[in-house]
Structure 1
Amino acid sequence: MNKLFPLLIAFFLIVSAVVIGLWFTGGLPGLGQNKGQSSSTLVGVPQIGGPFSLVNHKGERVTDEDYRGKLLLIFFGFVNCPDVCPTEMQTISVAMNELGEQASEVVPLFITVDPKRDTPEAMADFVAAFHPSLVGLTGSEEEIDDVKKKYRVYGEKQEGGDPDYYLVDHTSFTYLMGRDGELITVFSFGVPAEEMAAKIREQL
């Protein structure tokens, strides 16, 4: 089973990438992206998103209901990530600046995939380096596993390294969620901030 698990994870990631690719190119029917319509249901495709209860970087317990009425930009990563996470946080920060006054209608969330190390204090230090509206979210391992499952996120500690200084392999998508908590679209890593801002502006 241990040998099969990485293969199953790889298969799932490939299938997810194909589905998202078809989605962006219009190869999957039934997805509405009109302004004012946050999302539509894709029949037969696993849905992304759902309720969560986590702790923000200020040490406060928050749920998905606390963000109703706002658009959400959600990225899963970890504080000690050397490249992907800070790069995407910078992209999100630039996109938020591009939105100007409209940025008040959007909340960017950075959800850890490494709750063992990413305490509220560690998250606070991390998010302080980026946009002031960025919210870091952590929780127990069970709570993080639950939200990862709901967002179809892969996150796995690399084995064989230092027990305290290790890397975590993880999904690098940014999810744009509607005011009702439903998925609008998914940004691949490397999407320009201007393109991200333009897509968000369509929903404002």
Structure 2
Amino acid sequence: FKIVSNLLLFVAAVFLGYSYVNKKGIFSKIGERFTTSEVVSEGIASASFNNLVNHEGVTVSSGDFGGKHMLVIFGFSACKYTCPTELGMASQLLSKLGDHADKLQVVFITVDPKNDTVAKLKEYHKSFDARIQMLTGEEADIKSLVENYKVYVGDKKASDGDIDHSTFMYLINGKGRYVGHFAPDFNAS
């Protein structure tokens, strides 16, 4: 438990230090389309969730992960670039953690529950580490989570079905409390 906690804090500290020095990630300028109310700035009221359905059709809640740390990612299965990149990074993280990966649960929560059915998430899940949980649910439940985590979600574009959304990853401790968030720096080597 301590090793995984320390490892995750170390990775977060290195990332934040690199991002601050290079003005990347969460320290880069935010585009004009975002307002400060859409950016996570004061933490999360409650990191827990209930009654979501995973890619296997099983109803889950945050309490089902047995005291594991959680890395929570919001996105959608039709996302062309950001979501697969984040999930690929999460898959690599789980691989690099080796025997310690059982202390971390990566959770992908859709921002498009209308289209991200269990069947779609099950198919999408095949491209990533099998330990990642992909969750959908009722629109009202997803909307509540999105608001609680302060995730920016734009309107679906009719032209290509894309949905603009923030790309923060949220770290939740084993007691279900928000620890912090970060925006991955996709250009970092």
| TM-score, normalised relative to structure 2 | 0.75
Question: Contact conserved, 2:168 with 2:184, CA < 8 A, in 1?
Answer: yes
Q: Deviations over 1:147-174 (max 9, x none)?
A: 1122111212234x24xx5111111011
Unaligned runs of 5+ in 1: 1-6, 20-44, 195-204
Aligned to 1:88, what secondary structure does the other structure show? helix
Aligned to 1:90, what secondary structure does the other structure show? helix
Determine the structure 2 residue equivalent to 1:173.
Answer: 168
- Residue 98 to residue 191, structure 1, CA distance change in 2 (3 Å): farther
Determine the structure 2 residue equivalent to 1:116.
Answer: 114
Q: Give the residue type in structure 2 aligned to 1:181.
A: G
Question: Contact conserved, 1:59 with 1:120, CA < 8 A, in 2?
Answer: yes
Aligned to 1:189, what secondary structure does the other structure show? coil
Query: Aligned equivalents of 1:126 and 1:190: distance in 2?
Result: 23
Question: Contact conserved, 2:38 with 2:151, CA < 8 A, in 1?
Answer: no
Question: Contact conserved, 1:92 with 1:193, CA < 8 A, in 2?
Answer: no
Determine the structure 2 residue equivalent to 1:107.
Answer: 105
The Cα RMSD (Å) is 2.3
Q: Which one has a bigger Cα radius of gyration?
A: 1
Deviation, structure 1 residue 13: 3.1
Unaligned runs of 5+ in 2: 1-31
Find out whether 1:77 has 2:75 as its counterpart. yes
Deviation, structure 1 residue 50: 3.1
Q: Deviations over 1:114-141 (max 9, x none)?
A: 0111001101111111111011000111
Aligned residues: percent identity?
Answer: 31
Aligned to 1:181, what secondary structure does the other structure show? coil
Query: Aligned equivalents of 1:180 and 1:191: distance in 2?
Result: 29
Query: Aligned equivalents of 2:130 and 2:86: distance in 1?
Result: 15
Question: Contact conserved, 1:68 with 1:180, CA < 8 A, in 2?
Answer: no
- Residue 192 to residue 96, structure 1, CA distance change in 2 (3 Å): farther
